[in-house]
Amino acid sequence: MMSKPRVALIGLGLMGTGMARRLLGAGFPLTVYNRNPERAAPLADEGAHVAASPREAAARADVVLSMVSDDVAARAVWLGEQGALAGAARGTVLVDCSTVSVAWIEELSRAAAAAGCPLLDAPVTGSKPQAAAGELLFLVGGSADALEIARPALAVMSRAIVHVGATGAGALLKLVNNFLCGVQAASLAEAITLIEKAGLDRTKALEVLTTGAPGSPLVKTLAARMTARDYTPNFSLRLAAKDMNYAVGEGKRHGVTLSTVGPVLGRYEQAIAGGHGEEDFSVVVEPLRKG
């Protein structure tokens, strides 16, 4: 049997920690890096090597994954003297799993090509529970050959891997996905607020909505969170707003106006200004309840 590729994982937030544990559980030699080293300590106890920099992490790997918050964080971990690209040997497969802009993926792709490293943009759908359970869906842009090298590592973290096209296609589809999710969440928040303020039986009303045509998996999940007022973060409001802003930017690049996003971002920004930015994005309902 061929040995498992050495993997580096950069970024140990809500998603990255669960992903790292899936890799360790499947027996992959794993190096991790996180800006806050305290997050990495439990993984060291479970068998991961903790690197002092992204450069060191990449130097120990055949496949390098990143899972960070945005373009700024991605640029910080990939580029520069201590960035992962500086430590990666030629032929190392680079995989950006973060939700970032297509413009950033194009920039990183050029830098990776100059270093002789194939790049995959492979953002995921799913949140903290799916990362921990190995049930993410990877949306992959880039070469099929590079994907086959990375596939064994991605497989243990996922329920499916979809190769959606050339470089940047995964990043773009993820932004479309999150744009739709963000609009749904804001619509649901307004619907629940109307139900509550009009004095309808909320339990019966939500049963009709969640089991009928509006009842997408997201609506069902967020309806439960909004009803319980449990905003433990699975996907933070701040990051949801960031993704919708990125989606608006991609729309402009292609001559498409995402006209529903403006009012939705207004709702999100109101909640962020109220101190809810690090809570789950279902918290967008709370300013409406108070209004």
The number of helices, as runs of H, and strands, as runs of E, in the chain is: 14, 9
**pLDDT one digit per residue (tens) for the chain, 291 residues:** 357 999 999 999 999 999 999 999 999 999 999 999 999 999 999 999 999 999 999 999 999 999 999 999 999 999 999 999 999 999 999 999 999 999 999 999 999 999 999 999 999 999 999 999 999 999 999 999 999 999 999 999 999 999 999 999 999 999 999 999 999 999 999 999 999 999 999 999 999 999 999 999 999 999 999 999 999 999 999 999 999 999 999 999 999 999 999 999 999 999 999 999 999 999 999 999 998
The per-residue pLDDT for 3 is: 79
For tokens 């920039």, what's the residue? 107
The per-residue pLDDT for 291 is: 82
CB neighbours (10 Å) of residue 187? 15
The per-residue pLDDT for 1 is: 38
In a domain, 1, yes or no: no
CB neighbours (10 Å) of residue 155? 15
Same domain, yes or no, for 204 and 243? yes
The per-residue pLDDT for 107 is: 98
Burial code of 205-243, b = ≥16 C-beta within 10 A, e = fewer? bbeebbeeeeeeeebebbbebbeeeebebbbbbbbbbbb
The per-residue pLDDT for 228 is: 98
Burial code of 92-111, b = ≥16 C-beta within 10 A, e = fewer? bbbbbbbbbbbebbebbbeb
* Domain containing residue 89: 7-166
The per-residue pLDDT for 2 is: 56
Longest dimension (CA), the chain: 64
Which residues are marked as active site?
174
User: Taking the model in full, what pTM does it have?
Assistant: 0.95
Same domain, yes or no, for 148 and 176? no
In terms of DSSP H, where are the helices of 31-80?
Answer: 41-45, 54-59, 71-78
Same domain, yes or no, for 33 and 52? yes
Same domain, yes or no, for 43 and 149? yes
CB-CB contact of 25 with 7 (8 Å): no
The CATH number that applies at residue 12 is 3.40.50.720
Chain centre to alpha carbon of residue 276:
19
